Structures are given as structure tokens and as C-alpha cells.
Amino acid sequence: MDVYFNHDGGVGVIGADSYVEPAVSASQKIISRFGHKRHEALTVSQSDSRGKNPFPIKWRMDAFSIDALPILNEYSNQIKISNNNAVDDLINKLSAADNPVTLLFTGPLTDLARAIQKVPSITEHIDQLLWMGGSFGETGNVDEPSHDGSAEWNVFWDPEAFKTVLHTTFPIRLVSLESTIQVPLTSEVRTNWALDRQYPAIDFIGQGYALVPPLVHLPNNSTYYLWDVLTTCSLIDPSLVDVTTIKADVVTTGMSQGKTFITSNGRDLSLVSSVINPDLFFKTITNLAKSAPNKPEIKGVQP
């Protein structure tokens, strides 16, 4: 399977729930430090997309802390930055692909929407889109002035981008808030990672999530769920989740902008409705992290 990953830290990096420069730098270091040998030719592309409704500054600042973690700076970075921005990088990679490409997006869809608008024919090279986005319950996770709280943040950042993508025909699978609420970051999960911190990748995971306070009182502001990780793991192992088919659309303006809703006039989508076994999900994360290579041969920090 050929996969293109766009995230606040990925192969295509967007400055949504991050600041893009430290997120790009951290992505380079993560791939260099923990990637398998076949990933050494990867480049990281930087997005110049800007959202209609920016994420809170406090959340975005974590990108600087991740980029500064000692475990990412112990080894020299071997991964280069693409000469193209994330939109053009996506266009070029899709156009040159020998096989249909699976798109994994765990941030807003702005880069994809812009790429489709620029070169519509790239949709012929997309096998499917797997996206963390949307909420189909009574509320979302946006607490912002002049908004009714019905939206999920990745949609709210750029509602028009999702609307553009809905006008395509390739398969789309959503991981929305209703399933991710089954996989909160708990004290027990943190403790289990601490007990396995002899594995460098698990140590990195534990350090990264230590930036998230272990609070559970206000879901939108303090309880952290593994939104993006569930999306990624459901691509690696689809048996982790249940999927249902819906027809959906999005509100692009007004106090409900970013709200996703089910309607008979909507676009066909696959929706991850639940996590079959949350314990197995967390075990999958641990096993993947344990399999990450260690790279003592590249020790030496670049100036």
C-alpha cells in the first residue's frame, strides 16, 4: 500500500494544531530517528495553507517542545525538506504514482482541497482518503466565541476544504469524535508506557504526551483522546474498528460552521463508529513502537 501522510507532523506538514516550522523540523527528526531504512529517501514538505479559524495558540506551541526533546536531538537528522510546498508535493507524488495512493490526513483537508482545485485529475490516483475529522453527536469539541460548539476542530479550521473534498468520488473514511472518545489518554496508559521506556520509541511517546496535563474534568479543554493515533492504527489494522456507511455534508458559514451532519442529500462516506477492543488498540501502539529501529550508527548532532 502506498500512503501519503499529511498532519501537523508528517510527510506533508500543515501548521494547524502546530506552528509549521518546528513541526517540519520535528517530523524530519522523527522519521530520521525512528524510520525504517526504506524511509531514508523520504522528504518532508511544508504547507503554506492558512485556516479560516486558527487553533488555539497554547495548543500550537507544543510543536516547539516536541522539536526540542533530547531524544530527537541525540542523533543527526538525515531527512531533507522537499523543494515543493505541501500542495505541490502532494500533486507531484500522486501524479507520479504507479499505483493508487491512500491518503492519511489527521489535520485539516486544506492542502488536499487546494491540490484538487489546482489539478483535478489527481483524484484519479487516489485509492481512498482516511481522515480524522467531524462530529456526528450533539456537540463537537470547539469552544470558541460566536460558535455554537457543534464542530470538530479539523473541520472548523477550514470548512470549505471539506466541502471541496466532498465533491469528489474516491472513497472517504472518517474517524470522528464518536469513536475517538473510546480511547482517552489515561493515567494507566501513561504508566504502561513508562514501564516500557527502555524502548526508545515508547520513551519518545511518553515524553511527548507528558506535555498533555493528565486532567479529565472538562472534555474539550483537558481530556486528551488519541484522535490521530486511532485514525492511523485503523489504517494499519482495520479490524480494530467497526465501520458504517452514512451520507453527510458540512456547514461552511455562520455559527455552526464546521458542523458535519447526516443527510439523505449528502455524500456517501464510511464512518468509524466504534473501537472494537480499546485494549488491543493500545497494545497495537506499543507493539509498533517496540518495532521501531534504534540507530546508534548515526549519532552526532548536526550544528
The pLDDT tens digits of the residues spanning 102-161 come to: 999 999 999 999 999 999 999 999 999 999 999 999 899 999 999 999 999 999 999 999
Q: Per the domain annotation, does 99 fall within a domain?
A: yes
Q: Per the domain annotation, does 302 fall within a domain?
A: no
Give the mean pLDDT of 78-93. Answer: 94
- Predicted pLDDT of residue 216: 56
Q: Per the domain annotation, does 130 fall within a domain?
A: yes
| % of the chain exceeding 90 in pLDDT | 80
Q: Per the domain annotation, does 303 fall within a domain?
A: no
Q: How far apart are CA 295 and CA 67, in angstroms?
A: 18
The partner residues of 104 in beta bridges, in order of sequence, read 5, 130
Q: Per the domain annotation, does 82 fall within a domain?
A: yes
- Predicted pLDDT of residue 26: 94
Q: Is the pTM of this model over 0.75?
A: yes
Domain count, the chain: 1
CATH number for the domain spanning 74: value is 3.90.245.10
Q: Per the domain annotation, does 301 fall within a domain?
A: no
The pLDDT tens digits of the residues spanning 193-241 come to: 999 999 999 999 999 999 988 765 555 555 789 999 999 999 999 999 9
Of 6, 243, 234, which Cα lies nearest the Cα of 106? 6
Q: Per the domain annotation, does 129 fall within a domain?
A: yes
Residue 171 structural domain: 2-295
Q: Per the domain annotation, does 300 fall within a domain?
A: no
